[in-house]
C-alpha cells in the first residue's frame, strides 16, 4: 500500500492521530493563516499560531484551535513542525513527480537522443 497522505502526529492526549492536507485543509489553512508560502515560512520560524492553525486544518477540523492548543501543551514543537512540513510537502508535490524515477546523474533533459540511421 502506498502513502495515504497522512502523517502521524503525537499530541498530549496519547490518541493516535494523523494530519493530512487535502484541498479543503489547504484552503482552510490559506483562509486562516494566509498564503501557503507564508504558512511554510511561519512554521519554519516556529510560529506557535501557525503550528496550531496548521494542525487544526490538517486534523480535518474535528477540533477547534483552542482544543488543538491544549493538546499541543508539553509536546516538542519541532516534532509538530516536522509533521506539518512533511504533510504539506506530500500534499503540494505533484503526483507525477512522486511516480517518476529520478533521471540518472548527469542526464540532460534538454538533449534529445535519436538513433542514427545506417
pLDDT at 99: 54
Alpha helices in the chain (DSSP H): 23-33, 36-44, 48-58, 65-72, 77-92, 95-99
Spans in the chain with pLDDT lower than 50: 1-3, 110-114
pLDDT at 51: 94
pLDDT at 58: 94
Radius of gyration of the chain (CA): 19
pLDDT at 112: 47
User: Nearest Cα to 23, choosing from 31, 11, 12?
Assistant: 31
C-alpha cell at 75: 509536546
pLDDT tens per residue, range 57-83: 999 988 999 999 999 999 999 999 999
Angle between helices 23-33 and 48-58 (to 10 degrees): 150
Amino acid at each position: 500500500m502506498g502513502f495515504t497522505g497522512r502523517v502521524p502526529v503525537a499530541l498530549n492526549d496519547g490518541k493516535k492521530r494523523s494530519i493530512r492536507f487535502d484541498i479543503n485543509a489547504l484552503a482552510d489553512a490559506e483562509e486562516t493563516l494566509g498564503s501557503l508560502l507564508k504558512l511554510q515560512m511561519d512554521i519554519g520560524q516556529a510560529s506557535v499560531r501557525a503550528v496550531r492553525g496548521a494542525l487544526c486544518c490538517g486534523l480535518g477540523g474535528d477540533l477547534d484551535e483552542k482544543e488543538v492548543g491544549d493538546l499541543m501543551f508539553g509536546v516538542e514543537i519541532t516534532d509538530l513542525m516536522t509533521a506539518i512540513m512533511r504533510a504539506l510537502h506530500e500534499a503540494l508535490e505533484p503526483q507525477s513527480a512522486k511516480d517518476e524515477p529520478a533521471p540518472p546523474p548527469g542526464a540532460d533533459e534538454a538533449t534529445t537522443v535519436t538513433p542514427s540511421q545506417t
